[in-house]
A and B are shown apart, each in its own frame.
Chain A
Amino acid sequence: MKILAIDTSNYVLGIALIDDEHVIGEYITNVKKNHSVRVMPAIETLMKDCDVQPGDLEKIVVAEGPGSYTGVRIGVTIAKTLAWTLNIPLTGVSSLAVLSASAGHYFDGLISPLFDARRGQIYTGLYKYDHDKLIVDKPDQLLLSKDWAIQLAAQQERVLFVGNDLPIHQAVLKETLGDKAVFANITQQNPRPAELAFLGRDKEAEDIHSFVPNYIRLAEAESKWLEANKGKNV
């Protein structure tokens, strides 16, 4: 089964083509450049180089967030539209799960992938491998990295932190967790699109029309409106 995987949820732009047991090709960049301009040309180039036609694809997998609202939307829009128009299944995978899988396969402990969410906050979750199967220990969430560090310090296991935004939060994690904190190697900080593809291969398909990004957060105007109308019968 040929699968196309698309990740535009954060700075890293990742495209992968896999079939049942092979990674056919991957395209990864980690630059702050416009995803909207680059994703479709990247997909076209990778597929052409690998001699795969759009009609050969049997599934689309997309990183569903969390991440940049605009970034996630670009990937999800392309993935939904491709799956719909090619009439093939679509699967969404957490962007944080992808990051965990990109560095944590052989780590004996917990994995905390993270993306910076500004003002001391991070998008993170807690994952672990059980016989080469990635398991969710704590769901994806948004919180202050210093609160996250305190939560993690209360348990026994070592924690592997992964992500290009580590330098922003490394000091506070190290300070609170000491030797329990392990940081992934620089070559493993990019979410690997091939990992996304394999995570999605084994996950069931979504309803294409109703599939939406996992933003984690409500739009600011929406949460303010809910706050202002709390208790009112609206």
Chain B
Amino acid sequence: MGEFIMEKNQWIMGIETSCDETAVAIVKNGTEIAANVVASQIESHKRFGGVVPEIASRHHVEQMTIVLEEALSQAGITMKDVSAISVTEGPGLVGALLVGVNAAKAISFAHDIPLVGVHHIAGHIYANRLVSEMAFPLMSLVVSGGHTELVYMKEHGHFEVIGETRDDAAGEAYDKVARTLSLPYPGGPHIDRLAQSGTPSIKLPRAWLEEGSYDFSFSGLKSAVINTVHNAEQRGESIAPEDLAASFQDSVIDVLVTKTIRAVDEYHVKQVLLAGGVAANKGLRTALEAAFGEKDGIDLVIPPLNLCTDNAAMIAAAGTILFNKGVRSNLALNANPGLDITIHNGE
């Protein structure tokens, strides 16, 4: 009798609860989204003008099993079909992370399914693999409410942070400037929209830092915006908010894009990936498209909005790579708000 080999699909579950989204997804064979469920808490946190950690944690407990069930039903599979459970172990809000991590461990134990802890930013980067195959070496610009980083990857699952913010993340600066302009939370999309109709006529600083540095700094820019508004108020003048938004956005994007171009040249990469919630920013997308449109041989990948903001499909996509590299977590896996993205580089 001949040997009968059956092609088997690999289903990886992703769980993400690092901030204010309770998310579960199922990804098939590393690139195909079979389910991607996100329960957002944004309406609850709006009244506080930002995410309140204790309230976020409470909502995660309310949503966890509902979202798990919805994901399995969307994918049309049962836990028996799942090859591994990947979960965000950090960075993020510790109380929020704990809900996802402990839910993941409980399922892993109940069905004896391997468990893989995933770094949240690795997830954001791997959201791109759900759009198009990655080409190495690559450079990823990660911009979100909590992160602004340039991450170099020479191969799958290997991350090198070449630059990061020394103070505020870009998304944080957006939220604070939005508050100064009395725009509702979350401020990023409002500034982006206002900026489209303004002109960058107000002179604002750009923090280039030391020669050759890929690090970022946005706190000086944020203070400059606040001072500009206060000084104008004191003189009884009014500043057009759309011009201020355009000037602020211009400064942020100028620094982000210039440093990315320099990194791309120095590291001779084949691909540039945009990752993180701020990837939704129209101004940033347009500037990157303009910068890399003319560059021969460099492929720019920007995922659709629902994959830029926090989701679990990106965790499952990164989890697939780590799982297939042999990375495993055990039942003592903990939430780690200060997790380092390079921990699995050797594996």
**Chain A nearest CB, measured from B73 CB (Å):** 13
Docked-complex contact B110 and A54, CB < 8 angstroms: yes
CA distance A74 to B57 in the complex (A): 10
Q: Is A222 in contact with chain B by the CB < 8 A criterion?
A: yes
Q: Is B267 in contact with chain A by the CB < 8 A criterion?
A: no
Using A43-B109, A85-B79 as known contacts, say yes or no to A73 and B65 having CB atoms under 8 A apart.
no
CA distance A174 to B217 in the complex (A): 59
Please, which residue of chain A has its CB at the minimum distance from the CB of B106?
A81
19 more A-B residue pairs beyond the given contacts A77-B64, A80-B61, A212-B58, with a C-beta to C-beta distance below 8 A: A34-B334, A36-B102, A36-B335, A40-B102, A41-B330, A44-B109, A54-B109, A54-B111, A69-B54, A70-B95, A70-B98, A76-B61, A80-B64, A81-B68, A81-B102, A81-B103, A85-B79, A219-B52, A221-B52
CA distance A78 to B79 in the complex (A): 16
Q: Is A1 in contact with chain B by the CB < 8 A criterion?
A: no
Docked-complex contact B332 and A73, CB < 8 angstroms: no
| Residues 82 to 113 of chain B near chain A (Cβ within 8 Å) | 95, 98-99, 101-103, 105-107, 109-112
**Chain B nearest CB, measured from A49 CB (Å):** 15
Q: Is A209 in contact with chain B by the CB < 8 A criterion?
A: yes
Docked-complex contact B48 and A40, CB < 8 angstroms: no
Which of B55, B95, B105 lies at the interface centre, i.e. has the most chain A CB atoms within 10 A of its CB?
A: B105
Which of B52, B66, B332 lies at the interface centre, i.e. has the most chain A CB atoms within 10 A of its CB?
A: B332
Give how many B residues have a beta carbon under 8 Å from the other chain's beta carbons.
Answer: 34
Docked-complex contact B106 and A41, CB < 8 angstroms: no
Q: Is B235 in contact with chain A by the CB < 8 A criterion?
A: no
Mask, A33-47, CB within 8 Å of B = 1, is 010111111011000
Q: Which of A41, A86, A208, A225 is the one whose CB lies under 8 Å from B332?
A: A41
Which 9 A-B pairs have CB atoms at the shortest separation, nearest pair first? A40-B331, A81-B106, A219-B54, A84-B65, A221-B52, A81-B103, A40-B105, A77-B102, A54-B110
Q: Is A156 in contact with chain B by the CB < 8 A criterion?
A: no
Please, which residue of chain A has its CB at the minimum distance from the CB of B67?
A209
Docked-complex contact B47 and A85, CB < 8 angstroms: no
Which of B52, B99, B102, B105 lies at the interface centre, i.e. has the most chain A CB atoms within 10 A of its CB?
A: B102
Please, which residue of chain A has its CB at the minimum distance from the CB of B112?
A54
Residues of A contacting B: mostly:
helix
Q: Is A213 in contact with chain B by the CB < 8 A criterion?
A: yes
Q: Which of A77, A85, A209 is the one whose CB lies under 8 Å from B99?
A: A77
Docked-complex contact B106 and A82, CB < 8 angstroms: yes
Interface residues of B (CB under 8 A from A): 47-48, 52, 54-55, 57-58, 60-62, 64-66, 68-69, 79, 95, 98-99, 101-103, 105-107, 109-112, 330-332, 334-335
Q: Is A179 in contact with chain B by the CB < 8 A criterion?
A: no
Q: Is A155 in contact with chain B by the CB < 8 A criterion?
A: no
CA distance A1 to B331 in the complex (A): 26
Using A40-B105, A209-B65, A221-B48 as known contacts, say yes or no to A73 and B95 having CB atoms under 8 A apart.
yes
Q: Is A210 in contact with chain B by the CB < 8 A criterion?
A: yes
Interface residues of A (CB under 8 A from B): 34, 36-41, 43-44, 54, 69-70, 73-74, 76-78, 80-82, 84-86, 208-210, 212-213, 215, 219-222, 225
Write 5 A-B pairs (CB below 8 A) sorted by A numbering.
A54-B111, A77-B98, A80-B64, A213-B61, A221-B54
Which of A86, A209, A213 lies at the interface centre, i.e. has the most chain B CB atoms within 10 A of its CB?
A: A209
Docked-complex contact A37 and B103, CB < 8 angstroms: no
User: Contacts of A69 on B, CB cut-off 8 Å?
Assistant: 54, 57, 95
Using A86-B110, A225-B47 as known contacts, say yes or no to A81 and B65 having CB atoms under 8 A apart.
yes
Q: Which of B47, B68, B69, B332 is the one whose CB lies under 8 Å from A40?
A: B332
Docked-complex contact A73 and B47, CB < 8 angstroms: no
Q: Which of B62, B112, B332 is the one whose CB lies under 8 Å from A38?
A: B332
Docked-complex contact A225 and B334, CB < 8 angstroms: no
Docked-complex contact B61 and A209, CB < 8 angstroms: no
Q: Which of B52, B66, B107, B335 is the one whose CB lies under 8 Å from A209?
A: B66
CA distance A148 to B102 in the complex (A): 36
Please, which residue of chain A has its CB at the minimum distance from the CB of B55?
A219
